[in-house]
């Protein structure tokens, strides 16, 4: 009986796949979905915040840079901005043991130079006050980050993080 209980807890695996419109409103929705998805792993508040920030950055990138939907838009409550382009963002999450895998994919315009895009403070949209810290935050808050992209062929961000572990970053004073 005891052994069985252990097995169930240890081998907790789960998958989530969703597709949503590339509009700013869905950034909040995506990070809420992920935080609900990882709750059974009992992450610390810090880990929860890390995952939410990283997912928010990746989805924001897809919305703003992939599809060029810079303006904020709430469906049903606001008039749709004229220049909004239709497109979908796909999110795939998987829990394997205590490790979370997240993939966020779009079919937008892609990245010309991935290496340059990963540099902190590098942004192609300074006129919209983008800080250029998106990938830097994803790298800082997750354990592993991979960016697969080519011009005109969309972008896929693959992230990985071990949850329920000791914080690796000392508290900043």
Under 8 Å CB-to-CB from 10, ≥6 apart: which residues? 97
Q: Which string of DSSP letters, residue by residue, matches the chain?
A: -HHHHHHHHHT-EEEEEEEEESSTHHHHHHHHHHHHHHGGG---HHHHHHHHHHHHHHHHHIIIIIS---S---TTTSPPPTTPPP-EEEEEEEEETTEEEEEEEE-SS--S-HHHHHSTT--S-GGGT--S-HHHHHHHHSSEEEEEE-TTS-EEEEEEEE-SS--SSPPP-
The distance of closest approach from Cβ of residue 141 to other proteins in the complex, given in angstroms and rounded to an integer, is 9
Shorter beta-carbon distance to other proteins: residue 15 or 119: 119
Least separation, in Å, of the C-beta of 80 and other proteins?
14
Nearest to other proteins of 152, 164 (CB atom): 164
Residue 124, interface with other proteins (CB under 8 A)? no
List the one residue out of 82, 149, 106 whose CA is nearest residue 20: 106
Residue 172 binds other proteins, judged by CB under 8 A: yes
Q: Contact with other proteins (CB under 8 A): which of 57, 103, 105, 106?
A: 57
Tokens of 36: 């609900």
Catalytic residues: 57, 61, 130
Q: What are the structure tokens assigned to 41, written together?
A: 């792993």
Per-residue binding letters, 69-108, with other proteins (x by CB under 8 A): -xxx------------------------------------
Nearest approach in angstroms of CB 150 to other proteins is 24
| Residue in this structure with the two tokens 């508290």, named with its chain if needed | 171
Binding flags for other proteins, 137-156, as an x/- string (CB under 8 A): x--x----------------
Least separation in angstroms between residue 12's CB and other proteins is 26
Total number of residues that touch other proteins (CB under 8 A):
31
Binder of other proteins out of 34, 38, 51, 64 (CB under 8 A): 64
Q: Which residues bind other proteins (CB under 8 A)?
A: 24-25, 27-28, 31, 45-46, 49, 52-53, 56-57, 60, 63-64, 70-72, 128-134, 136-137, 140, 169, 171-172
């Amino acid at each position: 009986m005891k052994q069985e209980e252990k097995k169930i807890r240890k081998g907790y695996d789960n998958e989530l796949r969703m597709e949503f419109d590339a509009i700013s409103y869905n950034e909040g929705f995506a990070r809420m979905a992920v935080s609900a998805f990882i709750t059974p792993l009992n992450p610390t508040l810090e880990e929860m915040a890390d995952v939410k920030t990283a997912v928010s950055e990746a989805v924001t990138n897809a919305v703003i840079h992939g599809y060029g939907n810079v303006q904020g838009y709430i469906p049903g409550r606001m008039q749709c901005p004229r220049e909004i382009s239709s497109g979908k963002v796909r999110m795939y999450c998987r829990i394997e043991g205590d490790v979370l895998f997240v993939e966020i994919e779009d079919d937008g315009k892609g990245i010309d130079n991935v290496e340059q895009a990963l540099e902190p403070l590098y942004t192609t949209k300074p006129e919209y006050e983008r800080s250029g810290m998106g990938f830097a935050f994803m790298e800082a808050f997750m354990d592993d980050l991979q960016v697969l992209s080519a011009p005109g062929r969309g972008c896929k961000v693959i992230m990985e993080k071990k949850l329920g572990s000791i914080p690796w970053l000392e508290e900043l004073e």
